[in-house]
A = this chain, B = another copy of it.
Amino acid sequence: MKPVKVAICGLGTVGGGVFNVLLRNASEIARRAGRPIVVEQVATRTANPNCDTSSVYVSPEVMDVIENPEIDVVVELIGGYDAAYELVMKAIASGKHVVTANKALIAVYGNEIFHAAREAGVIVAFEASVAGGIPIIKSIREGLTANKINWVAGIINGTGNFILTSMNDHGSDFAEVLAEAQELGYAEADPTFDVEGIDAAHKLAILSAIAFGVPLSFDKVYTEGITRIDVEDIRQADALGYAIKHLGITRRTDKGLELRVHPTLIPKERLLANVNGVMNAVMVSGDAVGPTLYYGAGAGAEPTASAVIADLVDVAREMGAEPDSRVPYLAFAEQADDMPVLPMEEIETAYYLRLLAVDRPGVLARVATILSDHGISIEAIIQKDILEGELVPIILLTHTTRESAMNDVIRELESLADIAGGVMRIRVESLEDQ
């Protein structure tokens, strides 16, 4: 069969990985795809010292690939919004298929991009946009296609997981570990996207859309980072049988969809609690299959290339097919409009609270009364020995309740004269079907 000709736009870490793996494994890939996949053009202004591009046409101008009639598939690996958006929309308009690893682009402009692609009859594939080399989009869109998905919960930001793992393993502070992560190249100079959960929110928006058949709703993701997590919380959680992980969670409820990124206590015996360092893992629970988990490298040149090239092979197979026979961009031929995203106040979960009490008789009773007044059952309450001066840490684990009730409780707790400073609140998930 005729080779598929691709243009790699952007030859940074991921672009370089795609270029090298396509060359190194060319014969293996051709044997699998049933036809060769050939790099016809590379668009980049800066050479990648890891790539020998001497035998391929390299152009400095990324938009050049649109004019090249030989190109079947544009591989967008330049990242960011503006130029990437322009490139993708122009590729679609000129009838070229698109493969991208750009989670921000898909999460924010995906609805528009897929609309244009549908009109033009071209494929836009984005496996590499979530969890790097793990074939999580394929697994949800195709592998679990028989299921009504109940929930998805994942460690989908390697930087955040590296930081939490190191804090746990070495008992170090957030700031200290962040500096180490930056030195190792696991965190950017400006780590906001990773540690504040924005990157995870991009990915979660994509996972939620393909799991539940709803439009992409990045602007509705509740997003909380890991910067406030203290080593003390990791220690207390551990003593209670939990690990703290930064999770993206989306769940179908009778009232609507939960869509949230935040630090989470999960039972240590769950596989997800044992996913450490920069690794990613996503749990998906379906009504037929039950809980499943997918684990692997969430970033890096070649793991991400693995996902980009899997998309290229899919495009090679599907480009000749009727558009109606292809896997729908967001998993469903039509999106549902009866599943609104729930405001954070309406989600239901369990909670870990850590507060510092003035060591006066009756403080524990006053704390417990406030929770009871709001109908919240306490699973565990632990009053620790005095650490310094008269302040006593109190640790609480609650049963499932509504976030709005917990907000009220925290407001009342913080207004108690017995309580010094703010209340640390971390949500708790059992990761079991309820």
Interface residues of chain A, those whose CB is within 8 Å of chain B, are 1, 17, 21-22, 24-25, 28-29, 31-34, 127, 133-135, 138-139, 141-148, 213, 269, 271, 274-275, 281, 286-297, 302-303, 305-310, 313-314, 317-318, 320-322, 324-328, 331-334
Q: Are B138 and A21 in contact (CB-based, < 8 A)?
A: no
Report which of B33, B139, B148 forms a contact with A139, defined as CB distance below 8 A. B139
Q: With the chains together, A358 CA to B7 CA distance in Å?
A: 71
Tell me which residues across on chain B come within 8 A of A305, comparing CB atoms: 146, 288
Q: With the chains together, A274 CA to B21 CA distance in Å?
A: 32
Q: Are A143 and B148 in contact (CB-based, < 8 A)?
A: no
Q: Are B142 and A310 in contact (CB-based, < 8 A)?
A: yes
Smallest distance from the beta carbon of A123 to chain B beta carbons, Å? 13
Q: Are B144 and A310 in contact (CB-based, < 8 A)?
A: yes
What is the chain B residue whose CB lies nearest that of A322? B320
Question: In this complex, which of A34, A146, A289, A302 has the most chain B Cβ atoms within 10 angstroms of its Cβ?
Answer: A146
Report which of B24, B288, B306, B328 forms a contact with A25, defined as CB distance below 8 A. B288
Report which of B21, B31, B295 forms a contact with A288, defined as CB distance below 8 A. B21
Q: Are B324 and A303 in contact (CB-based, < 8 A)?
A: no
Can you add 15 more A-B contacts, CB < 8 Å, to A34-B324, A134-B292? A17-B288, A24-B287, A28-B213, A32-B141, A32-B333, A33-B145, A135-B138, A142-B310, A144-B310, A286-B306, A289-B296, A290-B302, A293-B293, A293-B294, A320-B321
What is the chain B residue whose CB lies nearest that of A332? B31
Smallest distance from the beta carbon of A223 to chain B beta carbons, Å? 27
Tell me which residues across on chain B come within 8 A of A295, comparing CB atoms: 271, 292-295
Q: Are A288 and B306 in contact (CB-based, < 8 A)?
A: yes
Q: With the chains together, A269 CA to B274 CA distance in Å?
A: 8
Smallest distance from the beta carbon of A270 to chain B beta carbons, Å? 9
Smallest distance from the beta carbon of A186 to chain B beta carbons, Å? 15
Smallest distance from the beta carbon of A295 to chain B beta carbons, Å? 4
Smallest distance from the beta carbon of A117 to chain B beta carbons, Å? 16
Q: With the chains together, A307 CA to B21 CA distance in Å?
A: 30
Q: With the chains together, A309 CA to B34 CA distance in Å?
A: 25
Q: Are A306 and B289 in contact (CB-based, < 8 A)?
A: yes
What is the chain B residue whose CB lies nearest that of A127? B143
Q: Are B146 and A135 in contact (CB-based, < 8 A)?
A: no
Q: Are B331 and A320 in contact (CB-based, < 8 A)?
A: no
